[in-house]
Amino acid sequence: ALNLDNIQGDVLEGFPKRFESFLFFQITNATLFRQKLKAVIPFITNTTKVLADTKAINEHKNNGGKGLLKLSHANIAFSAKGLKALGIADQLGDSFFTNGQLADASATFANGGIEDPGKVTGTTIDPAWDPLFKQEIHAVFIVAGESQLTINAELVTLTTLLLGSIKVLGTETGNVRPGNEAGHEPFGFNDGLSNPPVIGFRAPNTGEIPTKPGVILLGEDGDSVTRQAPWAKDSSFFVFRKLEQRVPEFNLFLKQNALKGPGLTADQGSELLGARLVGRWKSGAPIDRDPLADNPADAADPNKVNDFDYSDDPTEIRCPFAAHLRKMNPRNGAIPGLAGVQVRRIIRQGIPYGPEVTFDEASSGVTKHSRGLLFVCYQSNLSLGFHFLQRTWANNPNFPNATNGFDPIIGQAGNNPRTTSGTDPNNLTGQLNLPQLFVVPKGGEYFVSPSISALKTTFAA
Ligand code: N7H
């Protein structure tokens, strides 16, 4: 079994949350920081605590409890530059972590980069990121809670404990969407449905394939790299990406390119196109199971929502090969039996940010307020996980087969145009032009989320 007291709480279970803030900072005085970190560690929530609090929230809800339980949870993670600032010289054996996300985004595709758009000079890109993420970020606090007030109080507590040893660079704050949209990302799709069942943490539901703990946690069974530093065990690489979503533009595109078929109204045709771009209906029902119409009962049943593997769909009639879901986890249906799918599983714990779409934006089809996803994922290996999924599958129009096209949701082509295919069941080979990015990267960093014991022994003095 895994030592759930030792694993930071956001990694496997994810914080329960209405709001979540990410506070990015530099370490300005390493000696002082190490001394002061001791007092911060008791505020860092482990997995056991998150499980207990999540249970309490559910009981409160089921017993008809009024309001939200006041709760806040905190985690801390460090970039490679942060380790360097602290004088921690151990190599974690992951070059993408060592070089950082800005380096990944600054390399051209030909040179192995993840193809964020930006100004290209020779083999270098100046990605069009928010200035915050072009600074040298050493570390981040992740704080989640039931209200912004609670989170702010916790952030004040944490930064005060570190006073004189850090410089705050900036924060990003996300919020769960209101009402029935809770749990849905800004395009309207139910999210967080297909996180992998990690062996030693939770049992698989029908259709789910168990993931070895070492795919998510360093030094555990299934980790593909032998870690030199003993403290690496039970740590995880944490990817942060601020991804702006052009929701009015996406909706207008779905309307203008609505699929046509007997008995399909225009609205149904655009819903169907959206579902075929994502691989699930907005409810979360998988289109491999429900190719013709939404089926909210499938979405609501944990033993149905992942009970599919595309092996019934070699022609992409049910779900396009390039659909976001099928690109990111081809299950058994990219190339049947494709090796290496299971080592690329990631745990996603993101949260939407920004306001709901206004009437003005909806009617003009033009974004006027920044919104999107504060994307978070955990894995033990960036070259198998995030970096690979983004670069080698989402951004590669020839995966799994030549001319399948880009992942229409997150596929990037630098500043170049994109197409995708398989979206129209009546013309599966037809290419659909994607006029712009619907998901625009605004920056991020690669961090390590150390185990609690590593924080105590290696990070604090
Ligand atoms: Fe995705 N979306 O709304 O379209 N994603 N994603 N993602 N994503 C998933 O099944 C979305 C992003 C994965 O196991 C769902 O849990 C959006 C990045 C993986 O079958 C929806 C953004 C990466 C899965 C979305 C975004 C991934 C997945 C269905 C950016 C990695 C599970 C909900 C703004 C590089 C696949 C669910 C599986 C599912 C959307 C980003 C990966 C609705 C809007 C950057 C592995």
**Residue 168 main-chain phi, psi, to 5 deg:** -75, 130
Does the pLDDT at position 294 exceed 90? yes
The CA–CA distances, whole Å, from 379 to 12, 18, 366, 386 equal 10, 24, 35, 8
* pLDDT tens digits for range 297-355: 999 999 999 999 999 999 999 999 999 999 999 999 867 667 789 999 999 999 999 99
Structure tokens at 111: 């040179």
Listing DSSP states for 338-364 in one string gives -TTSGGG--EE--EEESPPPPHHHHHH
Determine if ligand 1 sits within 6 Å of the CB of residue 192: yes
State mean pLDDT over 20-37.
98
Report whether 81 contacts 137 (CB < 8 A): yes
How far apart are alpha carbons 3 and 48 in whole angstroms? 9
Q: What is the mean pLDDT of residues 224-243?
A: 97
For residue 400, give every residue at least 6 positions away whose Cβ sits within 8 Å of its Cβ, in sequence order, or none: 321, 330, 334, 335, 338
Enter the ipTM: 1.00
**Amino acid of residue 371:** R
pLDDT at 66: 86
Indicate whether residue 306 lines ligand 1 (CB < 6 A): no
Report the C-alpha gap between 460 and 38 in whole angstroms.
Answer: 6
Question: Residue written as tokens 């790299």?
Answer: 225
What local confidence, expressed as pLDDT, does residue 247 receive?
Answer: 98
**Does residue 407 have its Cβ closer than 6 Å to ligand 1?**
no
Q: Which of 97, 101, 384, 76 is nearest to 223 (CA)?
A: 384
**What is the pLDDT averaged over residues 393-399?**
97
What's the mean pLDDT in 376-399? 98
Determine which of 138-152, 276-290, 329-343 has the lowest per-residue pLDDT on average: 329-343
Task: Tell me what pLDDT residue 328 has.
Answer: 97
191 is catalytic: yes
Annotated catalytic residue within 126, 130, 191, 307: 191
Task: Please compute the mean of the pLDDT values over residues 46-53 and round it to a whole number.
Answer: 98
Closest by CA position to 76, among listed 16, 149, 151, 25: 25
Ligand 1 atom nearest the C-alpha of 409 is 4
* Interatomic CA distance for residues 450 and 236, integer angstroms: 7
Return d(Cα 140, Cα 341) in angstroms, integer. 30
If DSSP codes are grouped into helix, strand and coil, which group holds residue 393? Answer: helix
Q: Predicted confidence band at 279 (pLDDT cuts at 50, 70, 90)?
A: very high
Distances in Å between the Cα of 390 and the Cα atoms of 92, 138, 323, 327, 397 are 22, 24, 14, 10, 12
Decide if 274 contacts 438 (C-beta within 8 A): no
Task: State how far the Cα of 140 lies from the Cα of 170, in Å rounded to an integer.
Answer: 10
Grade residue 420 by pLDDT with cuts at 50, 70 and 90.
very high
Q: Which residue's structure tokens are 């049910």?
A: 318
- Look at ligand 1, atom 46, and give the residue with the nearest C-alpha: 328
Cis omega before residue 400 (within 30°)? Answer: yes
Work out the average pLDDT over 107-135.
97
Please compute Rg for the chain using Cα positions. 22
- Ligand 1 atom at shortest distance from the alpha carbon of 192: 16
pLDDT score of 337? 66
Helix axes 30-40, 148-161, angle to 10 degrees: 130
68 confidence band (pLDDT: 50, 70, 90):
confident
pLDDT at 335: 73
Q: Is 281 in the pocket of ligand 1 (CB under 6 A)?
A: no
Q: What are phi and psi of 238, to 5 degrees?
A: -115, 120
So what's the pLDDT on residue 32? 98
DSSP state for residue 51 in the 8-state scheme: H
What's the N-to-C CA distance of the chain in angstroms? 30
pLDDT at 405: 98
Element (H, E) at 297: helix 296-300
Q: What is the pLDDT of residue 386?
A: 98
Our answer on whether the CB atom of 170 is closer than 6 Å to any ligand 1 atom is no
pLDDT at 6 over 90: yes
Mean pLDDT of the chain: 97
- pLDDT on residue 336: 63
